[in-house]
């Protein structure tokens, strides 16, 4: 995405007022607010940015980044039942209880529960962030996401592909080159109409700067001008960023409650 978005917490590179994400969902708001003050509005998040942070602003040249390379794989793994619970926390029980669940192991994501409602929940890791995100290799990041059926078909394959490349020992630049090439060859799909996800977990950790950020929904579309949705405009609750490598625009809509029904804190003004 990009998500993984995994994204809402916005540190990304924008077109007009656009940004580049993930999922994670993760540090998305940070970039959005930075560009907004500079260019009236400036999501990736990440998908969830931030998303997906979701999460894509800091400089790739920042030599001070604490995560210059991948940590030992064990640091990215979780106890199985804990990961299942965290994955399901991405969406309200009315959705996640009947959703499929994937968990990460040494060989990639494994299906541990089959969906009966078309949704699939999983926990994205840091490598779903943008290429310039200093948290790209942060082993602490956990971004629960619950994808609807169109996203399962058209966004989940990107999560799986990136994870396969990571586990194969590819560098960050090789990962983005490979996924970009796969999209151009149509080996990876573009977002289907209606593709969206829930990132409403109170337990998620989307970046060192934004923590669990805010509960939000993410919508994935082929490239479109964010203003067509009223995104990134003054007073609009909709954030957006362009993911130039995955050839999509990601929209983030913060919501007022976590998946457990408790109220989320109001954003700082």
User: Is residue 177 helix, strand or coil?
Assistant: helix
Between CA 56 and CA 185 the distance in angstroms is 26
CB of 143 within 8 A of CB of 53? yes
Which single residue is written with the structure tokens 């090789």? Answer: 174
pTM over 0.95: no
> For the chain, how big is the Rg over CA atoms in Å?
16
Phi, psi of 248 (to 5 degrees): -150, 165
Measure CA 242 to chain center: 13
How far is Cα 123 from Cα 103, in angstroms, rounded to an integer?
7
- Dihedral pair phi/psi, residue 219, rounded to 5°: -125, 130
Name the β-bridge partners of 123: 144
pLDDT tens string for the chain (269 positions)? 444 443 433 433 333 333 334 444 433 344 444 444 433 333 343 343 444 444 444 444 444 678 999 999 999 999 999 999 999 999 999 999 999 999 999 999 999 999 999 999 999 999 999 889 999 999 999 999 999 999 999 999 999 999 999 999 999 999 999 999 999 999 999 999 999 999 999 999 999 988 888 999 999 999 999 999 999 999 999 999 988 888 899 999 999 999 999 999 887 65
Is residue 207 within 8 A of residue 53, CB to CB? The reply is yes
């Amino acid at each position: 995405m990009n998500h993984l978005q995994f994204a809402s917490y916005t540190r990304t590179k924008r077109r007009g007022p656009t940004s580049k994400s993930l999922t994670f969902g993760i540090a998305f708001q940070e970039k959005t607010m930075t560009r907004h003050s500079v260019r009236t509005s400036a999501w990736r998040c990440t998908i969830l940015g931030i998303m997906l942070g979701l999460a894509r602003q800091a400089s790739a040249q920042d030599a001070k980044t604490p995560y210059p390379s991948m940590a030992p794989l064990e640091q990215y793994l979780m106890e199985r039942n804990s990961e299942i619970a965290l994955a399901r926390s991405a969406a309200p029980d009315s959705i996640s209880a009947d959703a499929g669940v994937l968990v990460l192991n040494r060989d990639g994501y494994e299906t541990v529960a089959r969906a009966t409602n078309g949704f699939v929940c999983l926990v994205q890791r840091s490598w779903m962030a943008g290429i310039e995100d200093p948290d790209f290799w942060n082993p602490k990041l956990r971004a629960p996401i619950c994808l609807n059926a169109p996203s399962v078909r058209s966004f989940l394959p990107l999560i799986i592909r990136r994870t396969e490349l990571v586990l194969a020992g590819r560098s960050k630049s090789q990962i983005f080159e490979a996924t970009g090439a796969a999209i151009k060859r149509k080996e990876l799909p573009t977002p289907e109409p209606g593709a969206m996800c829930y990132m409403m977990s109170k337990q998620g950790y989307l970046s060192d700067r934004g923590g669990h950020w805010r509960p939000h929904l993410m919508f994935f579309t082929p490239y479109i001008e964010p203003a067509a949705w009223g995104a990134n405009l003054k007073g609009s609750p909709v954030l957006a960023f362009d993911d130039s490598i995955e050839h999509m625009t990601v929209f983030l809509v913060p919501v007022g409650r976590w998946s457990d029904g408790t109220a989320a804190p109001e954003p700082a003004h």
